[in-house]
Chains A and B, each alone.
Chain A
Amino acid sequence: MNWNFEILPDFIFNGLRDGAVYAAAALALVLIFKATTLINFATGELAMLGAFFVYVLNIEQGLWLWLSIAIAMLISAAIGAAVERALVRPFDPADHLPVVLITLGLFLIINAVAGDIWNYQVRRVNDPFGHFPSWVPNGSELKTSSEGTIACLTNADGALAEVAPGTAGAEMCEMVGRTFFEVIGARLHYRTIGTWIGLALALIALAIILGKTKAGLAFRAVSSNTESARLVGVNTGRTLGFGWALASVFGTLSAALVAPALGGVNPNMMLTILIYALAGAALGGLDSLGGAVIGGLVVGLIKSVLVSWFGVVVLGQAYFSILQLAMAFLLILIVLLFRPAGLFGTRQIERV
């Protein structure tokens, strides 16, 4: 047992970074589940498609990164709404079988199309949160030694390397140093903060849309009771399409946020994230938006702290790192077995 608490904050930051991505993806699942009690198994693939739109607009067409992300979100929203209108609405939502099939079919189609167009290599993307602007303190500068050389923390393994000032090594060091700064002895990456800010802004926007707009009101009405909403004149079909569009936006957000951390985009990038997102959504309760956010963050924390820190560092068992996915699966299983409504979901009352 090696209780290495010094590096724990690192793991917590990483966990919350991943957790924010899972939260966004879980929101995409929950927005659809809330409205239609369907699980969209193609969520991850739609999100992957969104990330590829960002790639095409930004890398291939040279558009400004943030504008690319915004446009990609709009396209994804349109695709989400179109999918709902064309493929999902014709079916009775009470019967899961056809819609499960449709979303599975979509999954296969989107994956194959993306693989055909962009093949299965990982393609590098620009990191929206790559480096701090020059006015923030440099993480590496903290390590400047008395002899004038910079003890450079390389980003990859955290090892110290001595470099002389003014060389290419020092420049590299400067670059790497500007991706993080130190808080309570741990590295807080700009990418991590950026991911949190991205999620927070999206959540605020979602809260405003759902709370203050007519469309949001209609969405809440439909998700609370579809029949009654229809009776009071809500256009339920259009509202469900709106829900799918919102969900696609959140899916694209999660994929765009996670792509740089994965090293780039590729057609299978969202597979494992889908599982973590499902775990987060199940934990939070499949029909609770706030629950999805908290569930996603908790899943990220569990994965990082419980499995990576406790399992690998404290227990010293390297094989724990392969249990991350299994942990997500176990979490889904345990939650659905013992508390099917999750932490914040609505309990199903079964009357016979």
Chain B
Amino acid sequence: MSDDDWPTPMPRPGDDDENQGADASVFAVFAPPHDPLPDDTPPDDTTAAESPDETAAVPSGDDDDGEPEPAGAALSVRSARQAVPAAGSPPPSRVGSPMRGLAVPGGTDRVVGPRRRIGPLSWIGAALLGVWLVAMPLTSTVTELRQNTQIIVMVLAVLGVNIATGYGGMISLGHGVFVAVGAFAAAYAVDDLALPWIVSLVAGAAFAGVIGALVGLPALRIKGIHLALVTLGLAIVFQPLAKRVPAFSGGVSGRAVGAEMVPPSWFGTSRWAEGFYRYLICLAIVGLAIWLTRNIISSRPGRAMRAVRDNDTAAAVYGVNLVASRVSTFAASASLAGLAGALSIVLVPFTSQESFPFQESLVLYATAVLGGLGSIWGSVLGVAIREAFSRLGELVGEVGGLGPISEFLSLLDEEQFVFGVLLVALTFVFPRGLIGLFNRRRDTPVSSGAQNRTQP
């Protein structure tokens, strides 16, 4: 093994207690009680990580936790807490840097995917992202800062789609609904129930999660393109319905959020300081949510999720509870979208069904695929590319004095048009998403769920 062949990302040994604490609490929600999928392979166990497909199906017997394996047992059943990483050679500490995720996007997908290496583009991308995150607030006006923070928040919604479609294999064209529900619920909690902001944000995400679980129920039976149809229907139906529930959504005129999130007085009192404070809060929450998502995905429920995506029958045979896995996947993805919605009312204290036309859902889905399904950093990339191109379009669209050409260029002002063209073009060039650029191997194993159908 050469030096740059990192083992696929693992929880750092030092973090393990904390990691698994988090995982275990998530497990309470997500994992069926007796889930026989193997737990994380220990960090130094590169052989197991290198033969990922086998890991998914039949765990290798070389556990380090000292549990005696019954001879010839096909499955080893271990709980999350029992996965004690072996002392000894820990993985290189760089694994813990932010680079890790970007560099090894599919790393979170390691059970079914080939190992990936860090490409040079990833370093550039990470550096750009880091520079932007620091420089953007310092150089922005109050309005720009707010708009840019909203872009950061939308990463969560796209990530939500990615969880459902990329990791769960369930096409969702209706995630805008969950964003809206999260925004409405958080507004309701913070205004009508007078809850503190943090609680309201959690309430928004939780409520969206509950709705997502309900929507996930049909996904137990409906698969592939049929599910796309149902979720699209949901997205189209939602707006006119929300208009008629004024107590919740504010009806036709929308609802203003009375309680604004203000920084403590020592932080500063200018409007920019207020915006900067919200930026920091949103950035922290988005970062936390991404980190949690990553952990869930690379732990037991995440593996169950992907196993169900790739072949639900086989997953069920290995003891994955299909109902729990599908429903909780949808709930998790919806609550991420709901959190995005809840954060959006922190930034702009107003929400209305008008802000969530169903095209918004389509754009969310398309952004997730654009960036790359089955990869957390793909979602970040998707949002970044979408924004970059829509700004580029605006710039070009403003060029005037070219006669008939500027007539056409005025189209570039329209975000929808630019995005549509980008979508079609990139589907041709990178059918598996832009994140493929960053991987040396592009064969991310993503299926739409349609491939589950066995050919007769």
Hey, which bits of chain A sit against chain B, CB under 8 A?
Answer: 37-39, 41, 87, 90-91, 94-98, 100-102, 104-109, 111-113, 115-116, 271-272, 274-275, 278-279, 282, 319, 322, 325-326, 328-329, 332-333, 336-337, 340, 348-352
Contact = CB atoms under 8 A, between A and B. Distances in A.
Contacts of A111: 359, 416
A329 B241 CA distance: 12
B237 to A, nearest CB: 4
3 closest Cβ contacts across the A-B interface? Answer: A108-B420, A105-B423, A112-B417
Interface stretch (B1-9, B128-136, B223-231): B223-231
A39 B424 contact: no
Given A100-B171, A107-B420, 11 more contacts: A102-B424, A104-B365, A105-B422, A108-B420, A109-B421, A116-B410, A278-B233, A279-B233, A322-B241, A333-B230, A340-B226
Classify the interface of chain A: helix, strand, loop or mixed.
helix
B83 to A, nearest CB: 32
Given A112-B414, A116-B417, A96 B453 contact: no
Contacts of A102: 423-424, 427
A336 B223 CA distance: 9
A288 B440 CA distance: 44
Interface string B416-455: 1101111110011001000000000000001110110110
A296 B244 CA distance: 27
Contact of B369 (A95, A97, A116, A349): A97
Contact of B225 (A38, A328, A332, A333): A38
A97 to B, nearest CB: 4
B241 A326 contact: yes
Count class of interface residues, chain B:
35 or more
Contacts of B358: 271
12 contacts: A95-B450, A95-B451, A97-B446, A101-B427, A104-B366, A105-B421, A105-B423, A108-B419, A329-B234, A329-B236, A332-B233, A340-B221
Nearest to A97: B448
A274 B362 CA distance: 15
B387 to A, nearest CB: 16
Interface in B250-283: none
Contact of B431 (A38, A98, A109, A322): A98
Contacts of B411: 112-113, 116
A20 B76 CA distance: 59
A142 to B, nearest CB: 38
A108 B362 contact: yes
Nearest to B456: A351
A228 to B, nearest CB: 14
B15 to A, nearest CB: 35
A94 B241 CA distance: 35
B240 interface: yes
Contact of A328 (B233, B313, B373, B417): B233
Nearest to B419: A108
Nearest to B407: A116
Interface in B19-75: none
B218 interface: yes
Given A104-B366, A113-B417, A340-B226, A98 B240 contact: no
A250 to B, nearest CB: 19
A329 B417 CA distance: 28
Contacts of B236: 271-272, 274-275, 325, 329
A94 B416 contact: no
Contacts of A101: 366, 369, 423-424, 427
Contact of B423 (A91, A108, A113, A326): A108
A98 B236 CA distance: 22
A111 to B, nearest CB: 7
Contacts of A274: 236
Given A39-B225, A329-B237, A336-B229, A107 B417 contact: no
Contacts of A340: 221-222, 226
B232 interface: yes
Contacts of B420: 105-109, 112
B417 A96 contact: no
A282 to B, nearest CB: 7
Given A94-B451, A116-B411, A325-B236, A108 B230 contact: no
Nearest to B417: A112
A322 B241 CA distance: 7
Interface in B153-203: 171, 173
Interface in B279-325: 313
Contact of B424 (A41, A105, A326, A350): A105
B416 A278 contact: no
Nearest to A348: B453
A106 B454 CA distance: 30
Contacts of A116: 410-411, 414, 417
Contacts of B448: 95-97, 100
B417 A333 contact: no
Given A278-B233, A322-B244, A333-B233, A96 B427 contact: no
A87 B225 contact: no
A39 B456 CA distance: 23
Contacts of B456: 349, 351
A109 B417 contact: yes
Q: Which of A90, A91, A105, A272 has the most CB of B within 10 A?
A: A105
Contacts of B228: 39, 96, 100
Contacts of A108: 359, 362-363, 366, 416-417, 419-420, 423
A269 to B, nearest CB: 14
Contacts of A95: 447-448, 450-451
Nearest to A29: B229
B427 A336 contact: no
Contacts of B427: 91, 98, 101-102, 105
Given A91-B431, A113-B411, A96 B366 contact: no
A184 to B, nearest CB: 33
Contacts of B366: 101, 104-105, 108
Contacts of B229: 39, 278, 282, 332, 336
A112 B414 CA distance: 7
Contact of B454 (A87, A322, A352): A352
A244 to B, nearest CB: 16
B320 to A, nearest CB: 16
A87 B226 CA distance: 21
